Amino acid sequence: MIDLIPKKSTREMPLKNILLFVAAALLIAVILSYAILIKLEAAAKLTIQDLEGEILKAATREDRQAEQKVLGYEKKIKSYADLSAKSKKVSQFFENFENLIHPQVLFSSLEVTAGSLRAAVKGKTASFQTLEQQLIFLGNQKDIIESVDLTDINLNKEGGADFSLNLTLKPEIFDAIKQ
């Protein structure tokens, strides 16, 4: 039978076919490159392991001992640096304490125990009034001195006072002076 009404012929669009082939080619290329990268990574790891083995074989006993010695020194230096950073700076105590001394008071001995935050001081002054001023001033330094105890006081030959003090310190006295 012959159709009197011609039907439109269905043609596929060539652009769709081209895009389908390009997408399939890209997918295959990505999968192949991923497989190649995995294989190259495995080969690189094997090469690294072989080289490390050769280095270990080539190293002499003396080299290994020297390496262990250097690593030991590195560990000691690091632990010293950590201890040094955590320790109290006694030199800061002297800078801070220097600002707390009355001009007419002379300290003849000073023993500082940073670990227990204590200081024992022996000194002389021209008068009991100067000693009283020094004690009041030290007692008012509540931010760096916890307590001041006068343990010994004597009248000396010149008419002044010889004395001994025990100070209980706060850790802040070992900090740097803030200008």
Residue 65 and residue 91 in contact, taking contact as beta carbons nearer than 8 Å:
no
Which residue in this structure is represented by tokens 């082939």?
A: 21
- Would you state the pLDDT for residue 57? 77
Residue 100 and residue 107 in contact, taking contact as beta carbons nearer than 8 Å:
no
Residue 145 and residue 173 in contact, taking contact as beta carbons nearer than 8 Å:
yes
Decide: residue 131, CB within 10 A, 0-12 exposed, 13-18 middle, 19+ buried.
Answer: buried
User: Which pTM was predicted?
Assistant: 0.48
Which tens digit of pLDDT belongs to each residue from 32-83? 999 999 999 999 999 999 998 887 777 677 887 888 999 999 999 988 887 7
Residue 174 and residue 88 in contact, taking contact as beta carbons nearer than 8 Å:
yes
Which residue in this structure is represented by tokens 């006993």?
A: 61
Residue 92 and residue 177 in contact, taking contact as beta carbons nearer than 8 Å:
yes
What 3-state DSSP class applies to 133?
Answer: helix
Q: Which fold has domain 90-174?
A: Gyrase A; domain 2 (3.30.1360)
- Would you state the pLDDT for residue 178? 46
Which tens digit of pLDDT belongs to each residue from 115-172? 788 889 999 998 899 999 989 988 888 888 888 999 899 988 888 899 999 989 887 7
How many CB atoms within 10 Å of residue 118? 15
Going from N- to C-terminal start, the domains of the chain cover 15-85, 90-174
- Would you state the pLDDT for residue 48? 94
